[in-house]
Structure 1
Amino acid sequence: MGGTSFKLDWGGMDRMLGSAVTKARQGKAAMAEIGEMLTSSTVERFDTSTAPDGTPWPVSQRAEREGGKTLVDTGRLRGSIGYEASPDQVVVGSNLVYSRIHQLGGETGRGHAVTLPERPYLGISEDDIKEARAILADHLVSILGGSQ
């Protein structure tokens, strides 16, 4: 070949990429880190009384009457927030029976005589998305053997 050219020598790049793909499939550590972050973010919402999108929760009658905060009277719901991580997903939530009614709102009490407004505490904020992306980027850099 006349003129000019260059040669690209993969030098084991195919093996490195294969190893990286295998490690990426074992992403439970990244999902666990994201789970920790999302759990922390969710718990903070009880301090700020805000939904993941930043809107304030309606003040509860108890909080209004006693001058307290909504959904933090006993702290049980707040303390029940946890996560389960697998290699390809993370689930954040509460296992308390009444957690759903506080998240979604609805009729409750004897004869469904009480209507609770929704007070979303579960969800992903814009800041959560940015943080999750940063965590994934750090894990990918680590998998590829580099540093940021």
Structure 2
Amino acid sequence: MTGARITVDYDAKALDAALSQAVAALDNPIDLMDAIGAVIEEAIDRRFDTASDASGSAWAASLRARQGERGGKTLTDTGRLRASISRAVSGSDVAVGTNVEYAAIHHFGGEIERPARTQVLAFNDAGRFQSRKDSRARRDGVQPIAIATIGATTITMPARPFLEIDTVAEADIADVVQDFLRKSLNT
């Protein structure tokens, strides 16, 4: 061979031992999966803080947010959805999500069909709507004065993707994996 040459010698036993340690650590990666799940939960929490999807596009503001009601933040009426985000680790898998029944319609968007219904209406002395339920109106000392028939309606809910990870989370996950492998090689 002419020109330049580099020769690399390595200790095959040391390399084999190090790789064996890494493989052994990956045989039971529950701690790794838990750490990755924590990073994903943090990324989802950022979705609620920024009211945007993973690409940074703002969610369509909810009516309450536009009117400044109940804190004025989209998807945070009661905080139940945000608080429900959790992770489940088993073996080499981690799942991050929510069991809240209305999560899917908020994440993916879609149409909500409400059937026609009859409703009791009550108004207070000032002429303001008091209650939709007969029992509540009576408890508040206001008697129902009308029964209204409300026609069927369809509400279009815009998608507000919150179960996403962004580039920050992707980098954090890579760091978690590197740290895990580094620690498994140093033990």
- Whether the TM-score (by the shorter chain) exceeds 0.5 is yes
Q: Which has the higher strand share?
A: 2
State the number of aligned residues: 142
> TM-score of the superposition, structure 1-length normalised?
0.85
Matched, 1:142 2:183: yes
- In the other structure, the counterpart of 1:125 is 166
Percent of aligned positions with the same letter in both sequences?
35
1:128 CA drift (Å): 0.8
- Tell me which structure has the larger Cα radius of gyration: 2
Instruction: Give the TM-score taking structure 2 as reference length.
Output: 0.68
Greater per-residue helix proportion = 1
C-alpha offsets along residues 95-145 of structure 1, whole Å, 9 cap, x if unaligned?
Answer: 111100000001115146111000000111111100000000000111111
In the other structure, the counterpart of 1:80 is: 84
Amino acid at match of 2:101: V
Q: Retained in 1: the 8 A contact 2:86–2:96?
A: yes
Quick check: 1:110 aligned with 2:127? no
Alignment deviations for residues 59-86 of structure 1 (CA, whole Å, 9 cap, x no partner): 0112112350101010000000011123
The one-letter code of the counterpart of 1:133 is A
Q: Alpha-carbon deviation of 1:19?
A: 3.2
Q: Which runs of 5+ in 2 are unaligned?
A: 1-6, 116-152
- Tell me: CA distance 1:7–1:129, structure 2 relative to 1, closer, same or farther (3 Å): closer
Of 48, 51, 54, which residue of structure 1 is paired with 2:50? 48
Contact 2:43-2:164 at 8 Å conserved across structures: no
